[in-house]
Structure 1
């Protein structure tokens, strides 16, 4: 296969199950070779597992059929665009059947391949008997009667094989998010299992595309630059055989593609940027460079790869009691104090009722006064807001205890301090707490199969190798800034972009200097200690108990922080207002940074950008 000079265009058309359906027609009109769809997250898998338990034909992302194939199948076929989607959820076979039925109904000639092997729920007894420990916390294996889903995170090579067998549409279950893109690159360019640098580069492309418009101005620090987000453009990667790529978006759409947007997305939800583990390769993004070459177009250099791990990360979800909560608003004088007092009395009344029913105390409670800087802890403003929202929530092993809380919250409405308000509707209901448990499964214990239009193909997994992150050569930290100059403090947002997200119960916060000249000052100001203090109110035990890792990415003039046990369990196991750390970057952007006084005037005048 001759690939020199060859490029392909891949459109990132979905970042989660339930996202807007506007991407597919937009990207088809712009012209692409592939459309990739990422529908899955750990929470999504547990939801799909419950749906499958109720209906053996369910448990997949039906949006892929109803919002992609049925309305746009003719255009997809006419343009020769190939689709890769992890829409299969916990039931890829039914998803494949639904796709084939839709294609037949439309009278199209499109071949569908379905990849299975990730779903390990039918091996629950054997897995429970082996009793693997949680890979991050060391926790014991949960009660197997409460487990909803078990899925290994597969890689990209089975996808490439399905494409080589002539598939126009490839449907998978749980694979790593970036694999839907890497699979296309492997197929088109003939990359092999030991082309680790190329595989890391293709994984980076997938990582940039996997959250759709987050690469084109969504969640961007300089959010006003995104313009008309009602018509935001979805990302397109123009990929070369050497692993380099450009990112752009369809003409005439809103949003923006810049060094800032792509840098933020590169750091989104990663841990160690020099040891980002994926099933096909261990990626090193630390020296990747991102350069603006045109309006709404950047070019990204290739990444480096260390090798492939000898295991698949495997995640199971399990039920662990119930949670419940809601929000109410207060306005007027002393709004925050009124809201706090109201919430405290709601719990006091509910706990009295619990004792009467012999239900025991709530295992965890949460009061957050949104609008009173509750997310900023000790670094919040002392001002007295005149309107706030109180978020009140709790956990308990028994759903009845949450029903009591929600009933008493409503029932205290006539005894409240003045200014209580809220959008009327049905009373909130308890919901299951779904926890995540991650462990490692040796690759040789996973059997992968490809169904290519009814023809079964057993895919042989290439085994990897053990990898020791301590052997990584770490870049030298930025040189200490000049200490003799007169200094002034400015908020970090003046000097940097930030993007944050979750990794289970961990949060990552990526900080990218707007100018390389700023980085030494940012590095010096943002110590692990000062960052711990900013998030002390989110960590059990406070700042002293916080575990924080700090990494340097010299290629993109960036820093990545990984904060452990800071999300109250994360996902739907948390009762926090921000259970996924999406706003944590905004908290850190308020951190003061000392810079030379001479720069302050230049920053105001816009001379340093």
Structure 2
């Protein structure tokens, strides 16, 4: 086995991420590759709309303005190769902008592009072929704003093989940004499933930027002193796929099995069958070991044959939304806020009827400051808060409907509760509701082209079309918990957690702080108990996926996000806060063990 180590830095987790990541990793990271993730489903619709107005728009301009312009010379001098999905829906315009930046800086860079993900021109064809929504079986909407397939890593590797210094893609799975360089560097083949799964884990851990190196960590007190300069992640990868996760020296944050473990569980669903285009990953036996300060050795990912399909996501206009907010202060503030929200909604609904407009398709009212996210489990004292925010949102098929709501929301300021002030000046702004449609398409229906310097290059295979399918994980032995008296202890004393979204599913990953706690947590956190914790939010089934390698459990909560994304009126449409709600849950711990573990 080669002793070669490839260093990949994750510099951006979304379009809008801080410019600190590229600076750290280019100046002080000693990286071979810099990867930047910019795209989400809503981003694709925004970029498609931008391109419809300007043929040179439609890509992530932050990549040009905040990364390449300030750093292109140093990137070239240090021979750092850059992989970014910044191409959006206009790869060639992004390439031309990159060429202009390089020319202005007086450097020569070979720029590669991966094309084929944008299927908008084929929307009618896909609809006619019966493309269906993965979860509901619904037909594809008649009018769509964007349609993109999630491509894999081998086209990126082909661009690097052809000498590209910068590779820009449209939609691909986020982890492909890291797997592509590893295929190129180590010569991994489509059948190297374990290594491809390990590379997928590398990409998954670093594609969210600092979220794996101390950002958003449960134990925030351990990292707060360095928040001004939170370190961005670096993966030092060996040929067998094992890697050390670290960060640049003298930066804030923290790299530990718990920070890395939180990110591994973030938004992966079933860790035994985490599906990527090139491989089906099994992360259930992954292990993490602290091998130095801010250095964690990660290994044990396994892979199986990939599926025959690419995931395809389309966005479409699903009506209009408007969300208004008021601050309400003083005695009975929470009760006044709730009643005022109800009255505004009732008044606006009556006016819709008077004007011959249909009713709001949905609405949602929250009182922020009275533990809205805790629902039925809010503390009684929270309802006595003396300063709260009324948040009221509505959806309507027509813009006129939400414009009426906007006017009437502000129009209530002098006719209802006392002690009301605005959060922002003026009326709340109506906005389009962008719906998400996700389906599956056979890989052979998606031609992929790789170009370097604008010229096509060889692509032996874009993605293996395999027979793979999700498989149930082997069941663990029942939790081994001693009997006798128990004491109630908040889950946060025994575990850390992180949460996010998978469409309309909330995803909560829980990791035992100590392996000794794992069985107690497993016994207490049944799917039924977790659903009860979110009784006001979760309408569907809760599924638990254990990961014994890191002593963790990943929970999927169906129908928990009001549709999710920008189609949701939920206070937390991406499920980011659910982990903290769950960590407040008190669970039974055998008293004898609680004492021996120092929990009492």
TM-score, length-scaled by structure 2: 0.97
CA distance in 1 between counterparts of 2:477 and 2:571 reads: 35
The counterpart of 2:282, out of the listed 274, 281, 284, is 284
Question: In structure 1, what is the equivalent of residue 94 of structure 2?
Answer: 95
What secondary structure sits across from 1:482 in the alignment?
coil
CA distance in 2 between counterparts of 1:188 and 1:141 reads: 40
What secondary structure sits across from 1:76 in the alignment?
helix
Q: Does 1:468 align with 2:469?
A: yes
CA distance in 2 between counterparts of 1:180 and 1:426 reads: 42
CA distance in 2 between counterparts of 1:12 and 1:444 reads: 31
Question: In structure 1, what is the equivalent of residue 106 of structure 2?
Answer: 107
Q: Does 1:164 align with 2:158?
A: no
CA distance in 2 between counterparts of 1:307 and 1:117 reads: 23
Question: In structure 1, what is the equivalent of residue 251 of structure 2?
Answer: 253
> 1:26-175 maps to which residues of 2 (within 5 A)?
26-30=24-28, 31-143=30-142, 145=143, 147-175=144-172
- 1:409-459 residue CA offsets vs partner (Å, 9 max, x unmatched): 111111222221233423221111111111111111111111111211363
What secondary structure sits across from 2:549 in the alignment?
helix
CA distance in 1 between counterparts of 2:454 and 2:414 reads: 64
Question: In structure 1, what is the equivalent of residue 393 of structure 2?
Answer: 393
Shift, 1:105, TM fit: 1.4
Question: In structure 2, what is the equivalent of residue 576 of structure 1?
Answer: 570
What secondary structure sits across from 1:247 in the alignment?
strand
Shift, 1:605, TM fit: 6.6
Shift, 1:603, TM fit: 5.6
Question: In structure 1, what is the equivalent of residue 263 of structure 2?
Answer: 265
Shift, 1:528, TM fit: 1.1
Question: In structure 2, what is the equivalent of residue 323 of structure 1?
Answer: 321
What secondary structure sits across from 1:537 in the alignment?
coil
Q: 1:477 to 1:342 in 2, by over 3 A?
A: farther
Shift, 1:349, TM fit: 1.3
CA distance in 2 between counterparts of 1:163 and 1:197 reads: 22
The counterpart of 2:550, out of the listed 532, 556, 571, is 556
Shift, 1:599, TM fit: 4.1
Question: In structure 1, what is the equivalent of residue 525 of structure 2?
Answer: 526
CA distance in 2 between counterparts of 1:427 and 1:178 reads: 41
What secondary structure sits across from 1:293 in the alignment?
strand
CA distance in 2 between counterparts of 1:538 and 1:408 reads: 28
CA distance in 2 between counterparts of 1:175 and 1:27 reads: 23
Using the TM superposition, name which of 34-43 and 290-299 deviates more.
Answer: 290-299
Shift, 1:219, TM fit: 1.3
Q: 1:455 to 1:468 in 2, by over 3 A?
A: closer
> 1:439-588 maps to which residues of 2 (within 5 A)?
439-457=439-457, 459=459, 460-470=461-471, 472-483=472-483, 485-540=484-539, 546-588=540-582
Question: In structure 2, what is the equivalent of residue 543 of structure 1?
Answer: none
Question: In structure 1, what is the equivalent of residue 588 of structure 2?
Answer: 594
CA distance in 2 between counterparts of 1:477 and 1:494 reads: 24
CA distance in 2 between counterparts of 1:239 and 1:500 reads: 27
Question: In structure 1, what is the equivalent of residue 340 of structure 2?
Answer: 342
Question: In structure 2, what is the equivalent of residue 405 of structure 1?
Answer: 405
CA distance in 2 between counterparts of 1:91 and 1:406 reads: 35
- 1:378-428 residue CA offsets vs partner (Å, 9 max, x unmatched): 111011111111111011101111111111111111122222123342322
Contact 2:307 2:469 in 1 (8 A): no
CA distance in 1 between counterparts of 2:470 and 2:66 reads: 43
CA distance in 2 between counterparts of 1:468 and 1:525 reads: 31
Contact 1:52 1:58 in 2 (8 A): yes
- Runs of 4+ deviating beyond 4 Å: 601-606
Q: Give the total of aligned pairs.
A: 595
CA distance in 1 between counterparts of 2:14 and 2:442 reads: 28
Shift, 1:71, TM fit: 0.7
Shift, 1:131, TM fit: 2.4
Shift, 1:150, TM fit: 0.4
Contact 2:193 2:304 in 1 (8 A): yes
CA distance in 2 between counterparts of 1:130 and 1:305 reads: 31
CA distance in 1 between counterparts of 2:351 and 2:559 reads: 32
CA distance in 1 between counterparts of 2:398 and 2:312 reads: 29
CA distance in 1 between counterparts of 2:465 and 2:124 reads: 26
Question: In structure 1, what is the equivalent of residue 206 of structure 2?
Answer: 209
What secondary structure sits across from 2:380 in the alignment?
coil
The counterpart of 1:13, out of the listed 11, 17, 29, is 11
Contact 2:162 2:457 in 1 (8 A): no
- 1:493-517 residue CA offsets vs partner (Å, 9 max, x unmatched): 1100111101111111101000111
Contact 1:435 1:572 in 2 (8 A): yes
CA distance in 2 between counterparts of 1:359 and 1:232 reads: 51
Contact 2:194 2:303 in 1 (8 A): yes
CA distance in 2 between counterparts of 1:429 and 1:61 reads: 24
What secondary structure sits across from 1:346 in the alignment?
helix
Q: 1:476 to 1:602 in 2, by over 3 A?
A: closer
Contact 2:127 2:139 in 1 (8 A): no
